[in-house]
DNA sequence: GCCAACGTTGGC
DNA sequence: GCCAACGTTGGC
């Protein structure tokens, strides 16, 4: 099993939105970055666990857990001229962009903030914390995953 | 709203 | 294939 982190701006799509979707499942579309696409296409497998991360908001950080409910398939939003993420260069016969479906598992009991993550030596190599990182989807090692979850019940917030 | 970092585009 | 211009991301 693999572990991941996916970013979303809560003003656009938050963990509450996911929780209230039918089947608590949502296609994660609109990703227009090749590295992120390749991970969805090649590496994200059914049942993989995913941290839901809120970016660009008052409290930036990890807010919950979801799982991959459907493996990579063509991102139809690229074909829709009315869609914000329409890409005329994506040919339906040869789709350029890929999405996966994700399903809500649970909220964390508290937000594990970016600020807090930055204080942890254990996460020195975490992709999220690399300077200038802009990837909206990234792998998380099992060690990192377990460590981050261990912070959830900790009151040792800094 | 600012701005640094970074990916993409397109002229050459 | 280089690289400047441009657009986007995302923390602050």
Nucleotide nearest the Cα atom of A115 (by C1'): C11
Nucleotide nearest the Cα atom of A35 (by C1'): B7
Which own/partner contact pairs does A65-68 have at CB distance under 8 Å and 24+ positions apart?
Answer: A65/A105, A65/A106, A65/A108, A66/A6, A66/A18, A66/A102, A66/A103, A66/A104, A66/A105, A67/A102, A67/A103, A67/A105, A68/A4, A68/A44, A68/A100, A68/A101, A68/A102, A68/A103
CA A92 – C1' C10 distance (Å)?
A: 31
CA A17 – C1' C1 distance (Å)?
A: 45
Report pTM: 0.92
Question: What per-residue confidence (pLDDT) applies to A156?
Answer: 52
What gap in Å lies between CA A147 and CA A23, rounded to an integer? 29
Nucleotide nearest the Cα atom of A30 (by C1'): C8
For chain A (158 residues), the mean pLDDT of every run of 10, in chain order, is: 96 95 94 93 96 94 97 90 82 88 96 94 91 87 96 70
Question: What per-residue confidence (pLDDT) applies to A158?
Answer: 43
At residue A110, φ and ψ (nearest 5 deg) are: -155, 160
Question: What per-residue confidence (pLDDT) applies to A130?
Answer: 84
Nucleic strand B within 7 A of Cβ A150: no
Q: Nucleic chain B: which protein residues 69-98 of A have CB below 7 A from it?
A: 89
**Strand C bases within 7 angstroms of protein beta carbons:** 8-12
Q: Which CATH superfamily is domain A3-152 in?
A: ph1033 like domains (3.10.590.10)
CA A92 – C1' B10 distance (Å)?
A: 25
Nucleic strand C within 7 A of Cβ A135: yes
Question: What per-residue confidence (pLDDT) applies to A2?
Answer: 96
């Amino acid at each position: 099993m693999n572990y991941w982190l996916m970013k979303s701006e809560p003003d656009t799509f938050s963990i509450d939105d996911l929780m209230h979707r039918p089947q608590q499942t949502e296609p994660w579309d609109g990703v227009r970055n090749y590295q992120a696409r390749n991970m969805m296409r090649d590496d994200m497998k059914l049942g993989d666990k995913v941290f839901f991360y809120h970016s660009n908001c008052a409290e930036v950080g990890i807010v919950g857990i979801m799982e991959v409910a459907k493996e990579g398939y063509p991102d139809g939003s690229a074909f829709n001229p009315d869609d914000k993420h329409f890409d005329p260069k994506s040919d339906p016969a040869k789709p350029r962009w890929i999405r996966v479906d994700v399903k809500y598992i649970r909220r964390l009991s508290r937000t594990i903030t970016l600020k807090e993550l930055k204080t942890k030596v254990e996460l020195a190599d975490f992709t999220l914390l690399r300077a200038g990182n802009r990837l909206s989807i990234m792998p998380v090692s099992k060690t990192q995953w377990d460590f981050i979850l261990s912070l959830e019940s900790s009151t040792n917030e800094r």
